Structure formats: C-alpha cells, structure tokens
Amino acid sequence: MNVIRSVVTGTGSYLPEKILTNYDIEQKVDTTDEWIVERTGIKQRHIAAQDEVTSDLAVIAAERALLSAGLDASEIDLIIVATSTPDQTFPSTATTVQRKLGITRGAAFDVQAVCSGFIYALTTADNFIKAGQAKNVLVIGAEIFSRILDWEDRTTCVLFGDGAGAVVLTAMSGTGNVSDRGILASRIHSDGRYSNLLYVDGGVSSTGTVGHLRMKGKEVFKHAVLNLASVVGEVLEDCNLSSEQIDWIVPHQANKRILDGTARKLKVSPEKVVITVQKHANTSAASIPLALDEAVRDGRITPGQVVILEAMGGGFTWGACLLRW
C-alpha cells in the first residue's frame, strides 16, 4: 500500500550566547551547584540577550534546518512554532518567523502545549502532510523562559533556559510498513485536571500581565515518569515494535532523574538516551529539537534507526513520536 510519510530532512538549533552557570545563580538565590546537579543534572543554561526575542532564536534554528535539508525558504508551505513565550500575544510567532524568512505563501501558526509543544507541533505537521495539505513543513520549538521566571524563587529559577530547535519535515512516499523512513506513529494526550501543578500566574484575560512560572515540582515529577513510559509504550505498540528495538530516545530535557527513571521503566539502556539537560537546562518546547540536532550532527543518529521523541509538560500535556530516521 502506498502511503505518505513525513520524513525529517533537516535539523537545526540555536542557543543564545550568554551562559548562566549554577555558580552564577548561587549569587542570586539561596542554592548551591551541588543541590542543582544532584537533583536535576543541570550545570548551566543559556540566556537570551535583552534585545533578542523568541522569533530571533527560531529564525536562526530554522535557517540552519533549511540549510541541512538543502531547501530554500520559498519551498516551505507550512510553519508551526511551538512556544509558550511568544514575541507578542498576537500575531503568532510563526507568522513573524515567516516574515523574517521572507516567505509570503503557505500558512503559519503557533502551538501551545508548553514542554510537550514540539511533540504536538510535529504530530500536527505530520497530519497536514499525510492529508496532502503540505509538502515541506518547518516545525520549530523556541522559548525564552528566562522572561517568565521568578528570579527570587529558587525552586523554579534554577531549572530553565532559553533556546530554539527546528526540523524540516518533507512528504515522501512509503510502503505503509515500519521499514519506511519518517514518522511511523505519534500520540498526544492532555489532562486539564492537573493545570494547577505547573502554570504561569498571569495572562491576557485574567491578570492582564505576563505572570511568572509556578510549579509543584514533586507532583509533576511523579506523573512524568508514569505518563512518559506509558505513551512510549503506546507508540511502540502502534508499530508492533519492542523497547529493545529502540536505537535512540530523545526526550524532553527537564530533569536527569526523570530521563533515567523513564529509561529504567522502559528497560532501555541509559546509553541510548540523548541527554543535554546538563548544558541547556529545561528549554520547554525547544529541548527536543535542540537535543535531536546535537545527536544528528555528531553522528549518533543515523538513517534507518528507530528514534523516539517524548515529552510531558504543563496542562498536563504529554506525547511521543516514533520515527525511522
């Protein structure tokens, strides 16, 4: 059976120049490098310059992804930006990215699913491609979380960073079985009952302010490993594959202990997990494409391999994609 598959034909990423180490944060709040490393694995994070906005980060990541795909911006017919830290309330950051890339055709919109945003955006793009409505799609995760942190709250400000990552998805024909390249399965979930465990205490129609990130970390942690292991199980089952057949897991990078816990639950060896949290901290929707770009460029991820992307975030939202690279 002939089917349309969404194949990743290019990846790119961008991190702002400024690095803030745990030692730098020790000067701001009552914390230590030792506590942060032991509890999260994070050693440093990148922080956007004052004159940088989210679309600036997104555009550089997108240009790098286009270059690696060998495509011109004019060949893109859909741009989806996953972000919770847009330049403006409207227009969408995606249309700003579209303008900055000089694209005047097709469509562009944002997706908001916090740390699961990239999985939501990738799933949406895959459905547009499978429906025949787009051929080349730019899927971007871009965030400047440093602007919504309460820099006096040690329980959250040590955890996040800024950055952007992008992929180009291209429509290609496949046979319909799991030897095809491209996205073979994707699942997204949400459960709004948990919205009070990870949220921003402001908004356009409530306080009229941007607000600050608030999190009950321990509670989020408990749900994370369970939900992530379960949704990875779902995409494996969709493809009739077992966890031994996974070559790489590229998870959302929130906490090294969550990454280790999920791998253990799935019985996947820790060497198969791409980890960047020590260098980037949690960059929300940007963390998966940032980690993916690193592992593709350094030659770890190679064509034919089975790659799983997974994330969980505020909402709660969570999801996973299974791809053959």
> What does the alpha-carbon distance between residue 224 and residue 20 come to, in Å, rounded to a whole number?
26
281 touching ligand UT7, by CB under 6 A: no
CA distances to 92, 281, 284 from 78, rounded to whole Å, are: 13, 29, 22
Chain centroid to CA 209 = 25
In the complex, least distance from residue 287 CB atom to ligand UT7, rounded to whole angstroms: 8
Catalytic, out of 22, 46, 115, 227:
115
What 3-state class would DSSP assign to 246?
A: coil
**One residue of 127, 155, 278, 305 binding ligand UT7 per CB under 6 A:** 155
**One residue of 69, 158, 290, 295 binding ligand UT7 per CB under 6 A:** 158
**One residue of 154, 181, 265, 300 binding ligand UT7 per CB under 6 A:** 154
User: Is 240 a catalytic site residue?
Assistant: no
Please work out the total of residues on this chain that contact ligand UT7, with binding judged by CB under 6 A: 19
Catalytic, out of 157, 227, 282, 321:
282
* Type of residue found at 36: I
User: Is 115 a catalytic site residue?
Assistant: yes
Using CA of residue 207, residue 213, residue 216, residue 219, what is the dihedral sign? positive
To which residue do tokens 């941007």 refer?
210
Of 236, 251, 260, 256, the C-alpha closest to 295 is 251
291 touching ligand UT7, by CB under 6 A: no
In the complex, least distance from residue 221 CB atom to ligand UT7, rounded to whole angstroms: 4
User: Is 282 a catalytic site residue?
Assistant: yes
Give me the torsion for CA of 78, 62, 82, 210, rounded to 10°: -120
Tell me the helices (H) and strands (E) count for the chain, helix number first: 10, 13
In the complex, least distance from residue 145 CB atom to ligand UT7, rounded to whole angstroms: 10
Instruction: Tell me which residues are annotated as active site.
Output: 115, 252, 282
Binding site for ligand UT7 (CB under 6 A): 31, 35, 39-40, 115, 154-155, 158, 217-218, 220-221, 224, 254-255, 258, 282, 312-313
